[in-house]
């Protein structure tokens, strides 16, 4: 029992379950899933579908945070990616042509790799602190996105492109498969090879890692590139879903939601140990929360306040200090230094 | 000395961490105006007992009384405010703040609600000058000063608050002889003023020089409390390690196991770095232990770092005749079979968030690259093998390294490098802050490794240790290698003379 409480996934899962349960009480058909035209529909499917981009961005963010970094530019990369893809397609003669869509996707993926590499380069070789280094692209990126779209909203009418964000495979939204594939690949790469160990080592003690012979620069550049890639794909999914690119608003505040998802998932902002599954659950918690707020009809002007309140509650529940204060068990009281000791057990 | 009433009394103290029992039924008394040495091997529970006393950790069971009144300390700050001040083993100050700020942090002199910088700097200066005889610019960041000075600043900081009990956790481990004398002078002065001093050290000489009373812990248990002048040295050691000690005997040196024909593993010619170490020539042969002797700041560590490529030389060259090429970076050095155990265990050694197993395999894994993974089964085998070989305690490979005591962390790092099967092992202060037993174990290990053909570059501030393990000693003075002493000439007198110069 104690083991279960200590497991790093316990609190994220408990919070997700509580949110879902609340929804079930509020609207009993919340868990209903119906088949129509070979598609599954239902609130749960919606959460997975709309949450897919956030999960993706958060996975990339997890690795960056594990190296003691942070990437504030993901929201801007989402916007740039959507803008570039939509621009390429809208210029084509036959917007439905597979080759056109593939080249748009390829171009976008390439650009997001490059943007990630730029971040990684700044962080790893110039010694600029990650929060500042990525702030540059966060600010400039919105401008770049608007430059690409010429300040307009570009709409596309391509069923092929639309498939990425709206299509279905085996009755499930296609975006879920993209996310699942990336999650699987990353999990395998970090846990079945030594990559995860190196990332944790670099995040936990960069100096020691250098003396061990780990190429920490390469690792840092790689994780930022990967984070850029995740954001780029998220941008594709988002723009494909709405069949348009909006340089101003696409992916707005995504970086903050992603960071929050990572933290809820149990990865510390101090770097070191990271938990990919925790991050996925964290992102799903945030998406469920957003869906819930819309569903129960919170007036739009106070949705952000409600969200903030719930997030605060979630963070308090996650905080061991707070839990201990609430529980007030006198005999086994813990002290600051011990809290660190008892984590990750 | 006031014998009838202890100022501080701890009894029946129990403490466990997940999976480890660190203290069981420990007691401790401290009388005003005495220096009380707390002795024990690594992992005996000394640091834990101190942390319990200062409110860093809670107790699971047991009681503490201060001046007869029961005491519950909830935080280090609270401990300080009731008169228990501590200077920890590893300097716990902010390197990027000035010396004065470090001393007065939390109790800055104020003027109209603002910090009175002038007053603060003046007070810091007088405090350091009058009580520690230390004349330094207090307006410079702390990181500009040597570890020794930082340690004195840490002591000054604890003197700053009015203390009844002063805890010094291995304050002398990075001080040179003169600085130790200076510290002892201050300790005696404070002692006369009625302060009770709890003193932890691994240097036996120092224990007998300064202590009135000795308490011994072993494996988290209380062994006994003795008056220092009634406890023979040899008995103290055997009580600490709990067995007959063959390890303290002089390790018999294999008769000339290094032939002049033995291949040269690393050859430095005119290697140097401006402002750090003057150009030097030094060759290290297979199966040879080369010791570096010299005072603190004489350039020992700097020589070692150049051999590993941890710092970049700006003149001369390093050749590796057997492996070929040179070692321009740690990564390259590792590929060429050089391993380097840094003196800064905390910042350049352990990766605290990772487990013992992960810490051990990091270096070989890094050499194999990220894709050629060592199977989990093999990792477990290796970890268990080395835990047994080096006698690491606790023996759980999944324990986070952060939770191990200093000596055991050192062993984990040693294991990490031994796993890479280096041709040249560079050990920079491998026994700093480590108890006698482990020290002897590590020294023996060095000897046996060199017998198997490994070359070792051994750096230590303890001359006796360098003398014991080295086949050849390079003596440094003022950032310059001044003399090489080999074989029969190795004795304390010769080396001391070379260190002192003239």
In tens, the pLDDT along A27-63 reads: 877 777 787 777 777 788 888 888 999 999 999 999 9
Q: Which residues pair with B282 in a beta bridge?
A: B268
Alpha carbon distance A255, A74 (integer Å) = 6
Q: Which of A212, A269, A320, A343 to mutate to test the interface with B (most CBs of B within 10 A)?
A: A212
Structure tokens at B364: 């070989």
Alpha carbon distance A84, B129 (integer Å) = 67
Closest CA–CA distance from residue A120 to any residue of chain B (Å): 19
Q: Quick check: A192 contacting B, CB < 8 Å?
A: yes
Q: What is the 3-state secondary structure (H, E, C) of B123-152?
A: HHHHHHHHHHCCCCCCCCEHHHCCHHHHHH
Chain A positions touching B416 (Cβ under 8 A) are 212
Looking at residue B250, its pLDDT comes to: 46
Radius of gyration of chain B (CA): 24
Alpha carbon distance A12, A101 (integer Å) = 38
Q: Name residue, tokens 């910042």.
A: B347
Using alpha carbons, select from B460, B444, B498, B36 the residue that is nearest to residue B246: B444
- CA angle, A9 then A13 then A17, to 5°: 170
* Phi-psi label, residue A150: left if phi above 0, alpha if psi -120 to 50, beta otherwise: left
Cβ-defined contact of A338 to B331 (cutoff 8 Å): no
Q: Which of A192, A211, A338 to mutate to test the interface with B (most CBs of B within 10 A)?
A: A211
Q: How far is CA A124 from the centre of its chain?
A: 22
Cβ-defined contact of B351 to A336 (cutoff 8 Å): no
- CA angle, A312 then A315 then A319, to 5°: 135
Looking at residue B281, its pLDDT comes to: 92
Q: Quick check: A193 contacting B, CB < 8 Å?
A: yes
Alpha carbon distance B285, B304 (integer Å) = 15
The pLDDT-based confidence of A342 (bands split at 50, 70, 90) is very low
The pLDDT-based confidence of A335 (bands split at 50, 70, 90) is low
Residue B67 has pLDDT above 80, yes or no: yes
**What's the DSSP call for residue B90?**
S
Whole-number percent of chain B with pLDDT over 90: 11
Cβ-defined contact of A193 to B400 (cutoff 8 Å): no
Chain A positions touching B331 (Cβ under 8 A) are 213, 215
Residues of B with CB under 8 A from a CB of A: 17-18, 51, 55-58, 74-75, 308, 310, 330-331, 333-335, 340, 342, 347-354, 358, 362-363, 365-371, 373-374, 400, 402-403, 416
Looking at residue A120, its pLDDT comes to: 93
Tell me the DSSP string of B22-66. EEEEEEEEE-TT-EEEEE--TTSSHHHHHHHHTTSS--SEEEEEE
Whole-number percent of chain B with pLDDT over 70: 91
Q: Which residues pair with A155 in a beta bridge?
A: A244
| Residue of A195, A211, A273 lying closest to B310 (CB–CB) | A211
Closest CA–CA distance from residue B492 to any residue of chain A (Å): 33
Terminal CA-to-CA distance of chain B, rounded, Å? 45
- pLDDT tens by residue, B264-306: 888 899 998 887 788 999 999 888 899 998 776 678 888 999 9
Cβ-defined contact of A272 to B353 (cutoff 8 Å): yes
Which chain B residue is nearest to residue A341, measuring alpha carbons?
B403
Terminal CA-to-CA distance of chain A, rounded, Å? 14
Looking at residue A219, its pLDDT comes to: 92
Residue A186 has pLDDT above 90, yes or no: yes
Closest CA–CA distance from residue A274 to any residue of chain B (Å): 11
Q: Quick check: A323 contacting B, CB < 8 Å?
A: no
Sheet of strand B264-273: strand arrangement: B277-285, B264-273, B315-319
Using alpha carbons, select from A338, A211, A127 the residue that is nearest to residue B347: A211
**What's the DSSP call for residue B488?**
G
Closest CA–CA distance from residue A144 to any residue of chain B (Å): 36
- pLDDT tens by residue, A189-221: 998 888 899 999 999 988 889 888 888 889 999
The question of ipTM being above 0.90 is answered as: no
| Residue of B55, B330, B403 lying closest to A213 (CB–CB) | B330
Structure-model confidence comparison of residues A8 and B458, the more confident one: B458
The pLDDT-based confidence of A343 (bands split at 50, 70, 90) is very low
Q: Answer yes or no: are the C-beta atoms of A60 and A229 closer than 8 Å.
A: yes
The pLDDT-based confidence of B243 (bands split at 50, 70, 90) is low
Average pLDDT score over residue span B213-232: 88
Tell me the DSSP string of B194-229. T-EEEEE-S-HHHHHHH-SEEEEEETTEEEEEEEGG
Cβ-defined contact of A205 to B352 (cutoff 8 Å): yes
Average pLDDT score over residue span B53-74: 85
Alpha carbon distance A115, A117 (integer Å) = 5
Are B8-241 and B264-500 equal in CATH topology?
A: yes
- pLDDT tens by residue, B345-396: 888 888 888 999 999 998 888 888 877 888 889 999 999 999 988 888 888 8
Strand bridging mode B455-459 / B472-476: unpaired
| Residue of B55, B331, B365 lying closest to A194 (CB–CB) | B365
Stated pTM of the model: 0.74
Structure tokens at B195: 């302060």
Looking at residue B499, its pLDDT comes to: 76
Alpha carbon distance B267, A89 (integer Å) = 63
Chain A positions touching B353 (Cβ under 8 A) are 200, 204, 272-273, 344
The pLDDT-based confidence of B496 (bands split at 50, 70, 90) is confident
Alpha carbon distance B33, B30 (integer Å) = 9
Cβ-defined contact of A335 to B367 (cutoff 8 Å): no
Looking at residue B244, its pLDDT comes to: 47
Using alpha carbons, select from A60, A67, A65, A69 the residue that is nearest to residue A202: A67
Instruction: Collapse the DSSP code of B457 into the 3-class scheme (helix H, G, I; strand E, B; otherwise coil) and give the result.
Output: strand
CA distances from A176 to A43, A162, A180 (A): 14, 14, 6
The continuous run of DSSP H or E covering B283 comes out as strand B277-285
Structure tokens at B403: 């939770």
Residue B318 has pLDDT above 80, yes or no: yes
- CA angle, A147 then A153 then A154, to 5°: 90
> Of A208-222, B56-70, B183-197, which one has max mean pLDDT?
A208-222
Average pLDDT score over residue span B38-62: 84
Q: Quick check: A335 contacting B, CB < 8 Å?
A: yes
Closest CA–CA distance from residue B352 to any residue of chain A (Å): 7
Q: Quick check: A127 contacting B, CB < 8 Å?
A: no
Alpha carbon distance B70, A329 (integer Å) = 21
| Residue of A198, A204, A209 lying closest to B370 (CB–CB) | A198
Average pLDDT score over residue span B57-63: 85
Looking at residue A121, its pLDDT comes to: 94
Cβ-defined contact of A338 to B362 (cutoff 8 Å): no
Q: Cis (ω within 30 of 0) for the bond into B394?
A: yes
Sign of the torsion angle spanned by Cα atoms B470, B474, B477, B483: positive
Looking at residue B345, its pLDDT comes to: 84
CA distances from A50 to A30, A47, A171, A237, B175 (A): 16, 5, 16, 9, 62
Alpha carbon distance A205, A31 (integer Å) = 45
> What are φ and ψ of residue B352, in 5° steps?
-60, -35
Looking at residue A232, its pLDDT comes to: 94
Looking at residue A84, its pLDDT comes to: 92
Looking at residue A331, its pLDDT comes to: 43
Looking at residue B249, its pLDDT comes to: 45
The upper half-sphere exposure of residue B308, i.e. CA atoms within 13 Å in the direction of its Cβ, equals 28
CATH superfamily for B8-241 is P-loop containing nucleotide triphosphate hydrolases (3.40.50.300)
Alpha carbon distance A343, A325 (integer Å) = 17
* Phi-psi label, residue B19: left if phi above 0, alpha if psi -120 to 50, beta otherwise: left
Residue ranges matching CATH 1.10.3470 in chain A: 51-297
> Of A48-62, A164-178, B77-91, B131-145, which one has max mean pLDDT?
A48-62
Chain A 260-299, residues with CB within 8 Å of chain B CB atoms: 272-273
Structure tokens at B488: 């029969």
Q: How many CB atoms lie within 10 A of CB B176?
A: 16
The pLDDT-based confidence of A117 (bands split at 50, 70, 90) is very high
* Mean confidence (pLDDT) of chain B: 83
Cβ-defined contact of A341 to B371 (cutoff 8 Å): no
Cβ-defined contact of A210 to B330 (cutoff 8 Å): yes
CATH architecture of A51-297: Orthogonal Bundle (1.10)
The continuous run of DSSP H or E covering A13 comes out as helix A10-26
Looking at residue A138, its pLDDT comes to: 92
Count Cβ neighbours within 10 Å for each residue of B248-282 and write b for 16 or more, e otherwise. beebeeeeeebeeeeeebbbbeebbbeebbbbbeb
Using alpha carbons, select from B360, B367, B340, B498 the residue that is nearest to residue B429: B340
Alpha carbon distance A178, B13 (integer Å) = 57
Looking at residue B87, its pLDDT comes to: 82
The pLDDT-based confidence of B3 (bands split at 50, 70, 90) is low
The pLDDT-based confidence of A113 (bands split at 50, 70, 90) is very high
Q: Answer yes or no: are the C-beta atoms of B214 and B207 closer than 8 Å.
A: yes
Pick among 3.30.450.40, 3.30.930.10, 3.40.50.12160, 3.40.50.300: CATH of B264-500: 3.40.50.300
Between A and B, how many residue pairs show a Cβ–Cβ distance under 8 A? 101
Using alpha carbons, select from B439, B38, B391 the residue that is nearest to residue B222: B38
Average pLDDT score over residue span B428-446: 82
The upper half-sphere exposure of residue A332, i.e. CA atoms within 13 Å in the direction of its Cβ, equals 8
The pLDDT-based confidence of B322 (bands split at 50, 70, 90) is confident
């Amino acid at each position: 029992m104690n083991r279960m409480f200590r497991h790093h996934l316990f609190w994220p899962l408990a919070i997700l379950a509580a949110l879902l349960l609340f929804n079930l009480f509020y609207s009993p058909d919340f868990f209903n899933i119906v088949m129509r035209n070979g598609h599954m529909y239902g609130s749960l499917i919606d959460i997975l579908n709309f949450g897919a981009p956030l999960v993706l961005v958060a996975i990339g963010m997890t690795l960056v945070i594990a190296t003691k970094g942070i990437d504030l530019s993901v929201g801007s990369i989402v916007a740039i990616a959507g803008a570039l893809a939509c621009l390429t397609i809208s210029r084509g003669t036959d917007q439905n042509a597979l080759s056109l869509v593939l080249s748009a996707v390829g171009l976008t993926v390439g650009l997001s790799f490059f943007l990630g590499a730029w971040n990684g380069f700044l962080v790893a070789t110039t010694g600029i602190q990650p929060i500042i280094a990525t702030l540059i692209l966060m600010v400039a990126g919105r401008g770049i996105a608007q430059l690409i779209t010429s300040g307009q909203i570009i709409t596309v009418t391509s069923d092929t492109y639309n498939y990425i964000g709206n299509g279905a495979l085996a009755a499930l939204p296609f975006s879920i498969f993209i996310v699942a594939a990336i999650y699987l690949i990353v999990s395998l790469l970090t846990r079945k090879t030594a990559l995860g160990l190196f990332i944790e080592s670099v995040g936990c003690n960069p100096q020691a890692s250098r003396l061990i012979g780990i190429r920490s620069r390469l690792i840092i550049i790689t994780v930022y590139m990967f984070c850029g890639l995740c954001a780029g794909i998220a941008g594709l999914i988002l723009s494909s879903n709405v069949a348009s690119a909006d340089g101003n608003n696409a992916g707005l505040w995504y970086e903050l939601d992603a960071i929050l998802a990572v933290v809820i998932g149990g990865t510390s902002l101090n770097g070191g140990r990271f938990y990919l599954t925790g991050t996925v659950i964290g992102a799903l918690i945030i998406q469920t929360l957003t869906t819930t707020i819309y569903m129960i009809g919170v007036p739009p002007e106070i949705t952000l306040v409600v969200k903030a309140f719930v997030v605060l509650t979630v963070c308090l529940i996650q905080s061991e200090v707070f839990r201990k204060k609430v529980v007030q068990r006198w005999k086994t009281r813990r002290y600051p230094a011990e809290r660190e000791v008892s984590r990750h057990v | 000395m006031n014998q009838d009433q202890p100022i501080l009394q701890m009894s029946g103290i129990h403490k466990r961490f997940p999976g480890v029992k660190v203290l069981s039924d420990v007691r401790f008394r401290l009388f005003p105006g005495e220096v009380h040495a707390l002795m024990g091997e690594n992992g005996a529970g000394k640091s834990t007992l101190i942390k319990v006393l200062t409110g860093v950790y809670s107790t699971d069971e047991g009681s503490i009384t201060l001046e007869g009144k029961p005491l519950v300390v909830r935080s280090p700050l609270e401990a300080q405010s009731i008169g228990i001040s501590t200077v920890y083993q590893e300097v716990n100050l902010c390197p990027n703040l000035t010396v004065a700020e470090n001393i007065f942090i939390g109790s800055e002199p104020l003027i109209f609600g603002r910090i009175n910088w002038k007053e603060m700097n003046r007070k810091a200066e007088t405090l350091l000058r009058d009580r520690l005889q230390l004349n330094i610019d207090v307006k410079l960041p702390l990181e500009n000063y040597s570890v020794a000075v930082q340690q004195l600043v840490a002591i000054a900081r604890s003197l700053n608050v009015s203390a009844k009990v002063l805890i010094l956790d291995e304050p002398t481990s990075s001080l040179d002889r003169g600085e130790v004398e200076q510290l002892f002078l201050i300790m005696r002065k404070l002692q006369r003023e009625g302060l009770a001093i709890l003193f932890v050290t691994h240097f036996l000489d120092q224990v007998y020089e300064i202590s009135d009373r000795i308490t011994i812990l072993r494996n988290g248990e209380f062994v006994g409390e003795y008056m220092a002048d009634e406890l023979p040295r040899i008995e103290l050691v055997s009580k600490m390690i709990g067995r007959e000690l063959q390890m303290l005997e002089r390790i018999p040196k294999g008769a000339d196991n290094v032939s002049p024909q033995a291949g040269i593993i690393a050859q430095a010619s005119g290697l140097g770095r401006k402002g750090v170490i003057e150009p030097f020539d030094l060759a290290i042969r297979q199966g040879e232990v080369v010791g570096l002797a010299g005072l603190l700041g004489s350039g020992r560590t700097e020589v070692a770092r150049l051999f590993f490529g941890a710092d970049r030389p700006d003149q001369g060259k390093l050749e590796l005749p057997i492996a070929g090429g040179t070692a321009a970076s740690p990564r390259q050095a590792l590929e060429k079979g050089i391993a380097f155990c840094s003196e800064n265990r905390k910042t350049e050694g352990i990766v605290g968030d990772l487990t013992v197993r992960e810490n051990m395999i990091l270096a070989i894994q890094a050499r194999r690259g990220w894709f050629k993974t060592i199977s989990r089964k093999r990792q477990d085998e290796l970890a268990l093998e080395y835990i047994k070989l080096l006698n690491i305690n606790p023996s759980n490979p999944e324990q986070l390294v952060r939770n191990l005591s200093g000596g055991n962390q050192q062993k984990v790092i040693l294991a990490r490098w031994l796993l890479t099967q280096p041709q040249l092992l560079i050990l920079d202060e491998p026994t700093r802050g480590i108890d006698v037993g482990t020290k002897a174990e590590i020294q023996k290990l060095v000897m046996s490794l060199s017998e198997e053909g490994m070359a070792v570059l051994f750096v230590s501030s303890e001359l006796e240790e360098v003398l014991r393990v080295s086949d050849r000693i390079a003596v440094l003075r003022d950032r310059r290698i001044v003399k090489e002493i080999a074989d029969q000439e190795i004795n304390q007198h010769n080396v001391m003379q070379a260190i002192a110069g003239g």
